[in-house]
Amino acid sequence: MYKAFAYAVVLLLLVGCTAQKIPQVEKETKLIKTQKEEVAKIKQKEVKKSEQKYRMFQTVDAKDATLVQDGKNKQYCVICGMDLVKFYKTSYSATYNDKEHQYCSIHCLSDHLGEGIEIKNPKVVDVTTLKLIPVLEAYYVVGSKKKGTMSKVSKYAFSTLKAAEIFQSKYGGEVMDFYGALEKAKEDFKHYR
Ligand SMILES: [Zn+2]
């Protein structure tokens, strides 16, 4: 009887131990895993914050950029080779020789035009919506405090006069149409003078 009782106690202890130990270990591993995940999340957030802090005004997230060119050079200015996502807010698209081209700036667009070429359907990025809009429908803020691309005088485009004026009230500059902005861009080139 005593033997049977002792056997039962040992058995209970064993069952008790194994039953308790396994979930405990699982619990701890889970806890460490969640802690690790949380640390990784915080680190990711910090990296993103510092990226945004130091990123240029022209830069957008790749998912927000419309890139119209084909092939491996899709993401690069057809004239200077600069990254079109990095300089997206000053970017242009146009059809030349039945092919879509994309430029980092009005500087490179006017450089191309300076070769005497003819382009069709030129579009510029609207700083507010990040969509490409026809250049003739855009309102430009030229010479604001926000730095330009390939030029000391910046030229940012907006689809509405109101948006251009709000930008101008914050960062200065002059509101003008595409031809005004193009004339300013041409000043950077000797061959236009
Ligand atoms: Zn360029």
Q: Are residues 50 and 77 part of one domain?
A: no
Indicate whether 24 and 105 sit together in one domain. no
Residue 21 Cα to ligand 1 midpoint, Å, equals 65
CA of 97 to the centre of ligand 1 (A): 19
Residue 9 to residue 164: CA distance in whole angstroms: 83
3-state SS class at 88 = helix
**How many Å lie between the centroid of ligand 1 and the Cα of residue 114?**
14
Q: 110 and 50 in one domain?
A: no
pLDDT reported for residue 6? 56
Q: What is the mean pLDDT of residues 12-33?
A: 63
Q: Looking at residue 143, what is its pLDDT?
A: 97
Instruction: Examine the domain organization and report whether 28 and 93 are in the same domain.
Output: no
Residue 42 sits in the same domain as residue 68: no
144 CA to centre of ligand 1 in angstroms: 20
- Residues 99, 38, single domain; the answer is no
Question: What confidence score (pLDDT) does residue 38 get?
Answer: 87
The token duo for 158 is: 């907006």
* Mean pLDDT within 162-169: 98
Report residue 9's pLDDT band, with 50, 70 and 90 as the boundaries: low
pLDDT in tens, 112-139: 999 999 999 999 999 999 999 999 999 9
Residue 82 CA to ligand 1 center (angstroms) comes to 6
Say which residues have a Cβ less than 8 Å from residue 189's Cβ, sequence separation at least 6. 110, 111, 114
Q: Are residues 165 and 185 in the same domain?
A: yes
Domain with 14, as residue range(s), is 1-54
How many domains does the structure of the chain reveal? 2
Are 124 and 142 members of one domain?
A: yes
* Residue carrying structure tokens 């945004």: 52
Say if residue 87 is in the same domain as residue 153: yes
Among 97, 92, 66, 51, residue whose Cα is nearest residue 185 = 92
Same domain (yes/no): 38, 74: no
> Distance, CA 128 to ligand 1 centroid (Å)?
21
157, 124 Cβ separation under 8 angstroms: yes
What is the C-alpha separation between 154 and 184, in angstroms, rounded?
9
Q: Are residues 127 and 45 in the same domain?
A: no
Kindly report the average pLDDT of the chain as a whole number.
Answer: 88
- Give the distance (Å) from ligand 1 centre to CA of residue 23: 61
Chosen domain end from 54, 76, 91: 54
Query: Average pLDDT for residues 154-180, to the nearest whole number?
Result: 98
Cα 81 to averaged position of ligand 1 atoms, centre (Å): 6
Q: How far is the CA of 27 from the centre of ligand 1 (A)?
A: 56
Looking at 11, 27, 54, the residue that finishes a domain is 54
| The last residue of a domain, from among 35, 54, 73 | 54
How many whole angstroms separate alpha carbon 86 and alpha carbon 108? 15
Nearest-CA neighbor of 56 among 149, 124, 143, 139? 149
pTM for the structure as a whole: 0.74
For ligand 1, the distance from its centroid to the CA atom of residue 34, given in whole angstroms, is 46
**Are 42 and 101 members of one domain?**
no
Average pLDDT over every residue of 77-101? 97
Smallest CA-to-CA distance from 150 within 81, 97, 93, 100 is with 81
